[in-house]
Homo-oligomer: A and B are copies of this chain.
Amino acid sequence: MTDTIVSSASKELKIGFAQPFVIIGERINPTGRKILAEEMKQGDYSRVKADALAQVAAGANMLDVNAGIPLADEPGILAESIRLVQSITDVPLSIDSSIVAALEAGLAVYQGKALLNSVTGEEERLEAVLPLVKKYGAAVVAISNDEAGISENPDERFDVAKKIVQRAADHGIPYCDIVVDPLVMPVGAINSAGKQVLHLVKRLREELKVNTTCGASNFSFGIPNRKGMDATFLSMAIAAGMTSAITNPLHEEVMQAVMGSNVVMGHDMNCARWLKKYRQPSEGDFAGGRGGREGRRRRRG
C-alpha cells in the first residue's frame, strides 16, 4: 500500500492505493488559454485566483499550477502564482513547468511538500530535476518518455518509468515520492490507447508499486462528447489501479465518475460522500427502485 504524501502549509494529502482518488485541478494553465496567458504576463492574477477557488469548490484535492507563457518570465510568474494560490486555498499544489529554473523558483516559495510536475526519462532532465526533488523534499511526477520520445509500446514506457524510479533511488528519493504518468494518447489517433493505459497502470502498481497520474482529457482529444468519454476512461483507469489524475473538476460528468469510482473501490465508507451529494430530501437510503436481477435473487431465496 504505497502512499505519496504531499502537503500545503496546513493540510496533508495522501495519494495511495487505499485512498480516495485524487483530483488535481488542471485549469491554472495558460496553454491554449490566450486571455489567461496575457493576464498572467501583465501581472493580473485575478483569473488564476478565481480558477483556484472554483476548482477547490468543485472538489479538486490538489491544484496544478503552470505558467508556461512564451517569451515571459516563467520562473517569476510561476512563483507568484503559487504564492497567491497558497494564500487563498489550503490544498497541496503541483508545480508544473518544462523549465527547470521555473520549477526551482516555484519550490523556493512553496509552503509544504509539493508535487513537482515533472521529470522525464531524458538524461539531462533526470540530472537537473531529481536534485531539486531531493533538495526541497518534494514528490515528483515521472513521465514515461525519454530521448527517443513517447514509445507506442506500453512495455517500453514501463521500462522508462522503471529507469526513473531507479535513478531517483540513486538520488535518495524513495519510490513512494514518485507518481508515474504512463502517458495517455488520444484514442481517436491510436485505437489501443485505452488498453495501453490499463495494462501499464496494472504493471506500474504491481511491479513498481508506484502511484500513478495522467492528463485524463488527452484520451478524448479530437472526438465528440469528450466529457462522457473522459468520465468512462477515468473510471476504467481507476479500476485498473490509477490513483490520481490531472483533469478538470468543473466537469460534472468527470466528478460523478470519480465519486462513483470511489464507491466501487470501497473508498467512500457507507457511500457517505455519494449520499451527501446525490440524495434528495424526498428519498431515504434503500428507497431505490426495483433492484432488477436482485429482485429475482430475492424471489429465489
**B contact residues around A31 at 8 Å (CB):** 290, 295-296, 299
Interface contact A215-B293, CB-CB below 8 Å: yes
- Does A110 touch B at the CB level, under 8 Å? no
- Of the listed residues A195, A233, A240, A264, the one surrounded by the most CB atoms of chain B closer than 10 A to its CB is A264
**B contact residues around A220 at 8 Å (CB):** 288
A60-81 interface with B by 8 A CB criterion: 66, 68
Interface residue stretch chosen among A48-56, A127-135, A167-175, A221-229: A221-229
29 A/B residue pairs, CB under 8 Å, sorted by A: A26-B292, A29-B296, A31-B290, A32-B290, A33-B290, A68-B299, A98-B296, A186-B294, A188-B271, A195-B266, A214-B293, A217-B291, A218-B291, A218-B297, A221-B288, A222-B286, A222-B287, A223-B275, A223-B285, A223-B288, A224-B274, A224-B279, A224-B288, A226-B288, A229-B260, A231-B260, A232-B261, A235-B236, A246-B292
- Does A283 touch B at the CB level, under 8 Å? yes
Taking CB as reference atom, which chain B residue is nearest A252? B228
Task: Point out the residue from B184, B233, B239, B287 that lies within 8 Å of A240, measured CB to CB.
Answer: B239
- Does A5 touch B at the CB level, under 8 Å? no
Interface contact A300-B98, CB-CB below 8 Å: yes
Where chain A touches its partner, the secondary structure class is mixed
Interface contact A194-B229, CB-CB below 8 Å: no
Interface contact B295-A32, CB-CB below 8 Å: yes
- Of the listed residues A26, A270, A275, A288, the one surrounded by the most CB atoms of chain B closer than 10 A to its CB is A288
- Of the listed residues A214, A225, A248, the one surrounded by the most CB atoms of chain B closer than 10 A to its CB is A225
Top 7 A-B pairs ranked by shortest CB distance? Answer: A215-B293, A232-B260, A194-B264, A222-B286, A236-B239, A32-B290, A217-B292
Interface contact B224-A236, CB-CB below 8 Å: no
Interface contact B246-A239, CB-CB below 8 Å: no
Stoichiometry (number of copies): 2
A191-229 interface with B by 8 A CB criterion: 191-192, 194-195, 198, 214-226, 228-229
Interface size class of A (residues with CB under 8 A): 35 or more
Interface contact B221-A236, CB-CB below 8 Å: no
Interface contact A265-B191, CB-CB below 8 Å: no
Interface contact B98-A191, CB-CB below 8 Å: no
Q: Looking at the assembled complex, report how far the CB atom of A67 sits from the nearest CB atom of chain B, in whole angstroms.
A: 12
A residues in contact (CB < 8 Å) with B = 26, 29, 31-33, 66, 68, 96, 98, 149-150, 181, 183-184, 186-189, 191-192, 194-195, 198, 214-226, 228-229, 231-233, 235-240, 246-248, 256-257, 260-261, 263-266, 269-271, 274-275, 278-280, 283, 285-297, 299-301
